Structure 1
Amino acid sequence: MAHIVLITGGARSGKSRLAEQRVLEAGPVAHYIATAQAFDSEMTARIATHRERRGPEWRTHEAPLDLLETLRATDDAPRLVDCLTLWLSNLMLAELDWESRAREMIAALPDLHHPVVFVSNELGMGIVPDNPLARAFRDAAGTLNQWIAADADEVILSVSGLPLKVK
C-alpha cells in the first residue's frame, strides 16, 4: 500500500516546495502530476516557474480531469499531485460529478504501491465568499481536503514555508 501525504496551506505558503522535497526523498525518479491548465498568461507563468524549479528527475504528466487514471499509470515511482484544488475547480467548471470522482480516487489509494503526495489549498480560513459559485467551491474544497486527510498517513500544514505536522 502506498504512503499517502496531504500538504495543505494558504496561497504561496510553500506547499509545493515542501511536497517536491518529500517526493524526492522517496526515490531518485518522481512523477509530477499537474492539474493546472494555462488559460491565461499569469497561469502560464506560474506553470513555467514550477517546471523550471524541478530537475531532470521529474516526469511531468498533465491530468486536469483524469487524476485517478494518471495515478494508476504512474505507479512505478513516487508521485506529486499539484494540486487537488485546481483538479476540483476543473471538475466543477466542466460540470462533472466531483464527489463521485473524488470518492473513486480515494477508494483506489490503498491499491497503489508507490507514495503519493497531494498538495491542496486551505480555503476556509478567510472571509465568506460573496457569491454562490465561490461558496460552493470553498465548501467542496474543504470537503475534499477532509476526505483525503482522513485516509492520509500524514497531513502537513505549510505555514510560511515551514511544515507543521497535523497527522
Structure 2
Amino acid sequence: MGRHALVLGGARSGKTGFAERLALRTAHKPAYLATAEALDAEMRDRVESHQRGRAEHFTTIEEPVALSGALIAAAATHDVILVDCLTLWISNLLGAGEDVAQAVDELATTLTQIQHAKIILVSNEVGLGIVPDNKLARMFRDLAGATHQQLAQICDDVYFVVAGLPMTLKGERAE
C-alpha cells in the first residue's frame, strides 16, 4: 500500500472526482479528510452536497488545520485517505497565523512515515494565471506552488486533471 498520490488541477477541473475513483479502486475502508470550513450558507450547502454524494463510500473526517495529526489518526483505521484540498488547508493555515512552510514540512515527513495506507492529496493549481495584484494573493500562490513541488517529490504518483481528463506527470498511468 503506501503509494501516495498528488492530484492537481484547476477549479472544477474534475480533480476530486478522479481522486475519488482512484481511492475507491484500491480501498477497503477509505476516509475522506476534508479541510474546508463551512463559514457561510453557500459553503455549508456545498459541504453538505459533497458529503451526501460520498457518504456510502467514504468515512468523512473534517480537519481544517492539523492535517498531519489527522492523517496519522486516520491511517490507523483506514487503508486509503483522500485529502481535499491542500489549497484550502493553506488558506486555513494563513488565516490561523500558522507557519505554512513548517506545516508543509511536517506533512511531508508524515507522508514518508505512513506506509500502511495510501494518501491521495488533492490541490488546486493556482499558478497558471496572471500574477495576482496584491501581496496576500501572491504569497498564497507562491506557497501553493512550493507545496506542490515539495509534495510531488515525495509522492509516487502525480496527476494533473484538465476538463475531467487526468494526465500522468509521475508514476502509474491515470485511468
Calculate the TM-score normalised by the size of structure 1. 0.96
Shift of 1:28: 2.6
Q: In structure 2, what is the equivalent of residue 164 of structure 1? A: 167
The alignment's C-alpha RMSD in Å is: 1.1
Listed as ranges, the matches of 1:143-162 within 5 Å are 143-162=146-165
Paired letter, 1:158: V
CA offsets, 1:41-69, max 9 Å, x none?
22112212211221423111111001001
Deviates more, 1:9-18 or 1:69-78: 69-78
Structure 1 CA distance, aligned partners of 2:108 and 2:168? 21
Q: In structure 2, what is the equivalent of residue 48 of structure 1? A: 48
Q: In structure 2, what is the equivalent of residue 20 of structure 1? A: 20
Runs of 4 or more consecutive aligned structure 1 residues displaced over 2 Å after TM superposition? none
Structure 2 CA distance, aligned partners of 1:120 and 1:42? 21
Q: In structure 2, what is the equivalent of residue 79 of structure 1? A: 81
Are 1:134 and 2:137 matched, yes or no? yes
Structure 2 CA distance, aligned partners of 1:15 and 1:52? 18
Q: In structure 1, what is the equivalent of residue 111 of structure 2? A: 109
Are 1:88 and 2:87 matched, yes or no? no
Shift of 1:105: 1.3
Q: How many aligned positions are there?
A: 167
Structure 2 CA distance, aligned partners of 1:50 and 1:145? 24
Calculate the TM-score normalised by the size of structure 2. 0.92
Deviates more, 1:42-51 or 1:145-154: 42-51
Q: Secondary structure at the match of 2:12?
A: coil
Paired letter, 2:108: I
Shift of 1:114: 0.5
Paired letter, 1:45: D
Query: Do the aligned residues in 1 keep the contact of 2:6 with 2:152 (CA within 8 Å)?
Result: yes
Structure 2 CA distance, aligned partners of 1:116 and 1:16? 14
Structure 1 CA distance, aligned partners of 2:21 and 2:55? 12
Q: Secondary structure at the match of 2:19?
A: helix
- Structure 1 spans left out of the alignment, 5+ residues: none
Are 1:122 and 2:153 matched, yes or no? no
